[in-house]
Amino acid sequence: MKVLKFGGTSVGSIESIQNVKKIAEARKEPIIIVVSALGGITDQLLKTARMAVAGDSAYLQEIETIVNRHYNVIEGVVLAEKKAETRKKVNELLDELTNIYKGVYLIRDLSAKTNDMIVSYGERMSSVIVSNAIAGAKLYDSREFIKTDTQFGKHNCNFGLTNKLVKETFTELPQITLIPGFIATDSVTGEITNLGRGGSDYTAAIVAAALQAEMLEIWTDVDGFLTADPRIISNAYVIDKLSYVEAMELCNFGAKVIFPPTIYPVYHKNIPIVIKNTFNPDAPGTFISRDMVGDKKKAIKGISSINDACLITVQGLGMVGVIGVNFRIFRALAKSGISVFLVSQAASENNTSFGVRNTDADLAVKVLKEEFEHEISIGEINDIKAEKDLACVAIVGENMKHTPGIAGKLFGTLGRNGINVIACAQGASETNISFVIRLDNLRKALNVIHESFFLSDYQELNLFVAGVGLVGGNLLQQIQKQQEKLLKEKSLKINVVGLINSKHCLFKREGINLENYKEELATATAPATPESIISGILEMNIFNSVFVDCTASETIASVYNDLLKHNISVVCANKVAASSSYENYTELKQTANQRGVKFLFETNVGAGLPIINTMNALTNSGDRILKLEAVLSGTLNFIFNTLSEEIPLSKTIVLAKEAGFAEPDPRIDLSGKDVIRKLVILSREAGYAIEQEDVKKNLFIPQKYFDGSLDDFWANISELDGEFEKRRKALVAENKRYRFVAKLENGEASVGLQEVDDSHPFFHLEGSNNIIMITTERYNEYPMIIKGYGAGASVTAAGVFADIISIANIR
């Protein structure tokens, strides 16, 4: 024999009740069906009661709605030969209910007893309807055998009497037995009571345990227990098996699949529970039993949360070493019927914190102040206050037992994402680690935990991309092209959730469609100011956030520190920050390190070449960089490689700009400013505190060409063509070439034009390529050489993309 419970939306419509009918009539073995009220009816009954007691005559319209709802269901599901009988019985119940409401309206009083009576009609009417919809079903009244005792204003099952009455009632079982859930009667007075919200699950479990059922099936509107709330975690999935302990922990911390006390009766009789979906009956559901089952590689089974939490702390030096303080705390709370779901105490005994629902917070503070009035008055205990609008999260899994590092991984994951843990608790059973955080961090916390503990099929990075020009545009194209492959082959999902151009910002938590991002960005209205950028990103409060700067803007670079302080990684092609004052550079690096996030700028030098990463690998492994020599300007190298008898200097500058190698204002490249910034960055990464002003300059364009406007520059630069052609011919005759070389040696940095012959590694540098020679203690006689494309939007974007992917630690 099995017990099946159908509730909520499972009996919420004609379609769902027809599903119940099919499921029941398909069973060959005897079954007991427990049903709740029609979906939403209990809330409607309570709402109508509140209207009546408030003197609102519109309660009559609410009654009419309730009547029509039940009539419609009768017409849609009840067997034809039983419709008249069903309508008659439901009419009698509706008449009784209407008279009770009229009495409440007239005397303006709604006692707990009357309230219990009113809500009982939901189950009483639904059980009549469903029993007459299923062929061969026999209806029993659960008020006759589910008995309760009242304690602290709540009705608790009297198991001794209930078990005796259930066994007496069901000595012989028909093929299909149907009973209403939730409702009960007082064991002494016989007055109508109930088992609390969700009590139909509990009714089913009580009956199953009393009759030693083979199995308890809870039919609901979901496929089973999920690893997390699917409204927050889009890739949450059904847990196929749970132990009783794991299921209980998840229920107690907000997983609303079943009513928490449901597990207790069947656990003691070792009766398995199966969670099934009325609307998807072929889904396997979740199987709950005494056995520890599941993937041993996954330490946790699921994550549950309470988004209605308040933390109350009793603190004071007068608590230290005093026996009985906690006894007094929880005795006072129990007397007032206040349930505590988390307790955390310092080893010093000078404070105890506990979690309650927000609705219980004020009463809890009141009764504790009364309990410790004397201690507060003499200063032994501080004023007791409640911290509201918090969330409590629990990670649950029996595989956590005796597994080192779970708590460290949990709190490390939260810390890297800027989530502060206010209080935490873990029992010696090691099946649950619970912690309290700010409510506005709940979504982020659930996402990063789900991902960190491999409950997700993939890892996510959420990108905010500033700059959608040449480099940024290429990056977005590369991301769009690689998104599917990265998800399939590397289990990495990259979402672009923010775009920023020179005028506006666009933020979308669900992600921006990269096929039409230009059109979406064109409709954005938020200004691209530092304040707007920072507030937009922080207000989204999304997990695994990365800010990607593909601009050359000082304004954009100014937001890095604020973002890093809020645990948002920064990847930048923009050289402004890393080449700014040494103080700012070190602060950014230190902030990233302290916050456990990344500040990456590989493409600041050499575009996509692995220069900075290689230098870091050398120094991190104990090597010391002694000397750097490099050609770091793809623009200048292109100019000197293109210079010929047919193409003068002024023309090569135009060609460099047209090819996308030069800045819109090529004077930035020709002045050596760009190379100086790159050399400063490399020098700092090599361990030297260098400022831009420390770099010695040997420039090849006279200063007067930089002093005027850009138009003046283009008008006058051809004046140098003759002199450069003469110098070029002389170099050709000596089999030499010009290279603009950046050098660091003995802690001194310099940039300037240098002649190199065909024996020098820089001589054969083609096109816009870059090259760097790194001399270290290990690579001394034969320096390490890195060479390749050092300019261009595509390779720079690829380097930025590589930095982004490195944050995910995938290979």
Condensed to tens digits (0 to 9), the pLDDT of residues 684-712 reads: 999 999 999 999 998 889 999 999 899 99
Mean pLDDT on 629-634: 92
Task: Tell me the pairing of strands 736-745 and 569-572.
Answer: unpaired
Q: Is residue 177 classed as helix, strand or coil in its secondary structure?
A: strand
pLDDT at 67 over 70: yes
Please give the C-alpha separations between residue 229 and each of 222, 262, 394, 570, in angstroms, as whole numbers: 11, 21, 12, 30
Mean pLDDT on 569-598: 96
Token pair 């645990």 in the structure block, residue: 567
Which of 256-260, 350-354, 449-453, 763-767 has the least mean pLDDT? 256-260
User: To 10 degrees, the CA torsion angle through 403, 408, 411, 415?
Assistant: -150
- State how far the Cα of 642 lies from the Cα of 662, in Å rounded to an integer: 14
Q: Are 333 and 340 in contact (CB under 8 A)?
A: yes
Q: Are 75 and 83 in contact (CB under 8 A)?
A: yes
Please give the C-alpha separations between residue 106 and each of 49, 57, 58, 95, 103, in angstroms, as whole numbers: 12, 10, 14, 17, 5
> Around Cβ 655, how many Cβ atoms within 10 Å?
15
Mean pLDDT on 724-752: 93
Through-space distance between the first and last CA atoms of the chain, rounded to whole angstroms: 54
Joined together, the tokens standing for residue 51 give: 């209207």
pLDDT value for 294? 63
- State how far the Cα of 13 lies from the Cα of 77, in Å rounded to an integer: 9
Active site residues: 678
Q: Are 197 and 154 in contact (CB under 8 A)?
A: no
For a pLDDT cut of 70, what percent of the chain falls above it? Answer: 99
| Backbone region of residue 740 per phi and psi (left: phi > 0; alpha: psi in -120 to 50; beta: other values) | beta
Closest CA to 209 of 267, 156, 266: 266
Per-chain mean pLDDT for the chain: 91
Q: Amino acid identity of 103? A: G
pLDDT value for 457? 79
pLDDT at 445 over 70: yes
**Where does the pLDDT of residue 57 fall: very low under 50, low under 70, confident under 90, or very high at 90 and above?**
very high
DSSP run (H or E) holding 802? helix 793-807
Please give the C-alpha separations between residue 593 and each of 568, 587, 601, 617, in angstroms, as whole numbers: 12, 10, 15, 17
Task: Tell me the pairing of strands 696-698 and 748-757.
Answer: parallel
Question: Tens of pLDDT along 320-365?
Answer: 878 888 999 999 998 888 989 889 887 777 889 999 999 999 999 9
Please report which residue ranges of 170-243 form alpha helices under DSSP H. Answer: 199-210
Measured at the CA of 136, the angle between CA 130 and CA 139, to 5 degrees, comes to 50
- State how far the Cα of 658 lies from the Cα of 27, in Å rounded to an integer: 78
Question: Tens of pLDDT along 540-552?
Answer: 999 999 999 999 9
Q: What is the DSSP letter of 298?
A: -
Question: Tens of pLDDT along 502-524?
Answer: 999 999 999 999 999 999 999 99
- State how far the Cα of 155 lies from the Cα of 195, in Å rounded to an integer: 6
pLDDT value for 56? 95
pLDDT value for 593? 94
Please report which residue ranges of 340-387 form alpha helices under DSSP H. Answer: 358-371, 373-377
pLDDT at 667 over 70: yes
Q: Most confidently modeled of 33-37, 221-225, 422-426?
A: 33-37
Q: Is residue 607 classed as helix, strand or coil in its secondary structure?
A: coil
Mean pLDDT on 627-640: 91
- State how far the Cα of 380 lies from the Cα of 320, in Å rounded to an integer: 10
- State how far the Cα of 530 lies from the Cα of 479, in Å rounded to an integer: 25
